[in-house]
Amino acid sequence: MSRHAIESLGLALLHRVDPERAHGLSLSALRAGVVPLPGQVTSDRLRTRIAGLSLPNPLGLAAGYDKNAVALAPLARSGFGFLEVGAATPRPQPGNPKPRLFRLSEDRAVINRFGFNNDGAEAIAARLAKRPEGAVIGLNLGANKDSSDRAEDFRKVLSTCGAHLDFATVNVSSPNTEKLRDLQGKAALSALLRGVLETRDGLARRVPVFLKIAPDLDEAGLADIAEVALELGLDAVIATNTTLDRAGLASAHRDQGGGLSGAPLFDKSTRVLARLSRLTGGQVPLIGVGGVSNAEQAYAKIRAGASAVQLYSALVYEGLSLVPRILSGLEECLQRDGFATVAEAVGTGREDWL
């Protein structure tokens, strides 16, 4: 049976079961070695650098798929240029009540309200300590739902896991932990990030610190993010997390609570990315995420200002074969438009999104 046939059969079977169970089964299939994987995908045109990290290609796996770092080895062979696992919190927590994951097949979208369900920083650190060599792996940092000091939680996770990371992402943009997005306010965000950077500076090895923002920020809120990022010298900003917007959805699940990801998020997240690129004047590297499901969309994120791109929800509908397909198509886009490297294309189409 061909790779395509195996993947098509696997996706069809997964879509017959509850979405959260399908999520777990897909991780189990990866770990069992039954998922066809392409290995590393790279070329002179695709190789890129961001925040001091050398990437074989600019396409990364977004946080949320491998929450507990249980499938690092197979994911490192899946074609991605970098992986982001988590979110991790200091203490294990079960997350929100089930059901909490919904496929919106008509919209090629997903709604989740997991609420940072994970095994806790110590268990995740132990798995990261056995990470595959050569892969670029980061961790999404979160806070416990019942924490009395959420800013301190981010520091604790970084302190626990930092020795095994290539980058760490401060996630104050998930809509599924009550009042977490309040930390995106200028004063609270600045204080939180200063604490995280202080913890980072105490690690044996410098770890780039990224910030992941929401797509629902207004112009003033986005300007505050840009000002803080520039003032503190953040290594990168990831734009964006999931949205609370439900405009234009057709699925019966459209009114479920939680964060919406997938195809409907593409335009909104790309506009935020372009605005942030303009506000930071290209001085802060950006990672574009939200609704990417083909090469032209990945290329659009790069031209809007992203030095690298992430995806996750599209894998629900396309499978991991999407990764090499996007990268092959991205190489063709760059070659077509005369760009010898990804870096040459960054921001060249920003004005189209403003």
Given a cut of 70, whether residue 144 has pLDDT beyond it is yes
**pLDDT at position 5:** 84
Q: Count Cβ atoms within 10 A of the Cβ of residue 321 and give its class: 0-12 exposed, 13-18 middle, 19 or more buried.
A: buried
Q: How far apart are CA 235 and CA 87, in angstroms?
A: 19
Indicate the pTM of the whole model: 0.97
Residue 176, pLDDT > 70, answer no
Residue 243 has pLDDT above 90, yes or no: yes
Is 70 exceeded by the pLDDT of residue 96? yes
**Average pLDDT for the chain:** 95
Contact between 54 and 47 under an 8 Å Cβ cutoff? The reply is: yes
Task: Give me the architecture of the 3-353 domain, per CATH.
Answer: Alpha-Beta Barrel (3.20)
Q: What is the pLDDT at residue 180? A: 66
What's the mean pLDDT in 65-77? 98
Cβ(129)–Cβ(164) below 8 Å: yes
Catalytic residue among 26, 147, 174, 321: 174
Question: In the chain, where are the structural domains located?
Answer: 3-353
Using pLDDT thresholds of 50, 70 and 90, give the confidence band for residue 204. very high
> Comparing 216 with 3, which gets the higher pLDDT?
216
Tell which residue, 117, 116, 111, 140, has the closest CA to residue 262: 111
Q: What percentage of residues in the chain have a pLDDT greater than 70?
A: 98
181 pLDDT tier (thresholds 50, 70, 90): low
**Known active-site residue 174:** yes
What average pLDDT does this structure show over 154-172?
Answer: 96
CA–CA gap between residue 100 and residue 258 (Å, rounded): 8
Predicted pLDDT of residue 257: 96
Question: What integer is the mean pLDDT of 171-190?
Answer: 76
Q: Report helix, strand or coil for 309.
A: strand
